[in-house]
Amino acid sequence: MPSTNLTFADRSAHRAWLATQAALPAGFRVGTTRFDFVPREAPKPAKMTLTLIALDRPTADFAAVFTKNAFPGAPVIVGRKRLAEPRLGAIIVNNKISNVCAPGGVEASERICAATAQLLGLAPTEVLPSSTGVIGWTLPVDAMVAGLPAAAQALAGGSVMPAAEGIVTTDLYPKVRRATVGSGSIVGIAKGAGMIEPNLATMLVYLLTDLVVPRAELRAILSRVVGTSFNTISIDSDTSTSDTVVALSSGRVPCPDLAAFEAALRQVCQDLAEDVVRNGEGVRHVVRVAVRNAATPELARALGKAIVNAPLFKCAVAGNDPNVGRLVQAMGKFVGAHAPDTDLSKLRASIGGIVIFARGVFQLNPEKEVALVAHFRAAELYASAPPQDGVFAPPIHFPPHERCVEIDLDLGTGSGAATVIGGDLTHEYVSENADYRS
């Protein structure tokens, strides 16, 4: 569940709230630059943003989790190697091109790290690369190296907003969340809008803290936190090649309680994960599925994923049509194929607090149908509009609220539980991904 239930009247109100979340922890600076280039594979003008996240001094206390896709991007390959290094001092991020399976991709990432390191007085192995964008294209390394001095010159403390804005691609708005623990803080930023199903998603997530959290503890905590946040969301069931979640501690402030730190980091990550779904490509409804009393937590999470990834149910949600048969069908399909020994005789299912299935049969009437439609409409982020010049475009560039279509499933067979967040399936999503490279 989100730590808040925020509403925003317009983009300015949302940006003002983001500014209240964006203060950098002690020991960090961020800088960005933007330049024109021409992709070799598609020779037409394009723009790329470089985003630099730097510590005032390198830290031994860093952690990262990467995609499980079997075709990882070059920055993921390099990043996994960086986990064995004694220190990390900076992260260099580019958008537009993801550097996945491109000729010379690893060498390109390493060259950019080396150029970044030279500017910052670091060893090349103290720089972590991240890339997001089109899969298969090659990075414009010369142009990126030429742009790096401007990003380094722009480095400043104060606000993480330049980095939050710099890492986005098809995102409609930046995502920033924060928490405090004692006199220290955690600030997280994320990008991600499509190709979202963890294990991770097309996500880049950077979690910065000034609290002292030793390396081994930070890595164990991050692994646990990712399991209950970014690995419980899905927009379209596609696992990206470039997913990266990085946590860095500048070690400036004593940590009074590692358990409190873990709880705060989990809340930051859960909020960012829901932000990613709410900002998903074409998403007009966020769907939250809470599965309770399952045989195991793993079954609960898998069942929740099966529901938020079911195309027919996602389309019904998009149309504000509470076609509950599609929900039950999706559950039955998953259980029949993957957990056939599950006893569904005790299943009790609700949407928006309205019981729609119990004791093996639907529990519906005209009054419930009206109430279900109202629940769907209340969760809608924006109304669908006709395409302009053949292209669907969302009319908003901010999240108007944090409401969800709320689904509760009580299996009554155990103590396992999980909450999964997903989105609907809209014309806008298809249009966005049909024209992604165009």
What percent of the chain shows pLDDT beyond 90? 77
Token pair 């829901």 is at which residue? 274
Q: Which comes out higher in pLDDT, residue 435 or 21? A: 21
pLDDT recorded at residue 196: 42
Backbone phi, psi, residue 19, to 5°:
-60, -30
Given the residues 132, 202, 241, 426, the one annotated as active site:
202
Q: Give the SS3 label for residue 211.
A: strand
DSSP letter for each residue of 311-357: HHHHHHHHTT---HHHHHHHHHHHHHHH-TT---TT-EEEETTEEEE
Backbone phi, psi, residue 233, to 5°:
-125, 160
pLDDT recorded at residue 427: 72
Would the pLDDT of 72 be above 80? Answer: yes
pLDDT recorded at residue 133: 86
pLDDT recorded at residue 431: 61
pLDDT tens figures, 31-56: 999 999 999 988 889 999 999 999 99
Q: Which of 129-133, 139-143, 198-202, 423-427 has the highest mean pLDDT?
A: 139-143
What one-letter code names the amino acid at 101? C
Say which residues have a Cβ less than 8 Å from residue 76's Cβ, sequence separation at least 6: 66, 67, 241, 242, 243, 244
pLDDT tens figures, 386-432: 666 665 566 778 999 999 999 999 999 999 999 999 999 877 766 66
pLDDT recorded at residue 434: 59
Q: What is the mean pLDDT of residues 133-147?
A: 94
pLDDT recorded at residue 317: 94
Query: Nearest Cα to 379, choosing from 306, 319, 309?
Result: 319
pLDDT tens figures, 290-317: 999 999 999 999 999 999 999 999 999 9
Q: What is the mean pLDDT of residues 153-166?
A: 97
Q: Give the SS3 label for residue 402.
A: coil
Q: What is the mean pLDDT of residues 150-178?
A: 94
pLDDT tens figures, 115-128: 999 999 999 999 99
CB 27 within 8 A of CB 208: no
pLDDT recorded at residue 402: 94
DSSP letter for each residue of 95-131: -SB---S-TTHHHHHHHHHHHHHHHHT--GGGEEEEE
Q: What is the mean pLDDT of residues 144-167?
A: 97
Query: Nearest Cα to 252, choosing from 11, 6, 13, 27?
Result: 27
Would the pLDDT of 202 be above 70? Answer: no
pLDDT recorded at residue 240: 67
Q: Which comes out higher in pLDDT, residue 356 or 277? A: 356
Beta strands in 226-345 (DSSP E): 233-234, 244-253, 286-294
14 sits in which H/E element: helix 11-21
Domains along the sequence of the chain with CATH: 11-278 (3.60.70.12), 286-434 (3.10.20.340)
Q: What is the mean pLDDT of residues 361-380?
A: 96
Q: What is the mean pLDDT of residues 339-354?
A: 96
In terms of Cβ atoms closer than 10 Å to its own Cβ (0-12, 13-18, 19+), residue 383 is exposed
Measured distance CA(151)–CA(95) in Å, rounded: 14
Residue 89 φ/ψ region, left for φ over 0, alpha for ψ in the -120 to 50 degree band, beta for the rest: alpha
pLDDT tens figures, 236-265: 545 567 889 999 999 999 999 999 999 999
pTM value? 0.91
Strand pairing of 244-253 and 62-66? antiparallel
**Mean pLDDT rounded to a whole number for the chain:** 91
Give the model's confidence band at 437: pLDDT under 50 very low, under 70 low, under 90 confident, else very high: very low
Question: Tokens representing 271?
Answer: 């909020």
Give yes or no: 51 in active site: no
pLDDT recorded at residue 426: 79
The sign of the CA dihedral 134, 138, 143, 146 is: positive
pLDDT recorded at residue 397: 87
Query: Nearest Cα to 225, choosing from 183, 190, 273?
Result: 273
pLDDT recorded at residue 242: 80
pLDDT tens figures, 79-117: 999 999 999 999 999 999 999 999 999 999 999 999 999
Give the model's confidence band at 190: pLDDT under 50 very low, under 70 low, under 90 confident, else very high: very high
CB 245 within 8 A of CB 79: no
Query: Nearest Cα to 80, choosing from 45, 125, 46?
Result: 125
Measured between alpha carbons, how far is residue 373 from residues 326, 328, 381, 396, 404 in Å?
15, 17, 15, 22, 13
Measured distance CA(68)–CA(90) in Å, rounded: 24
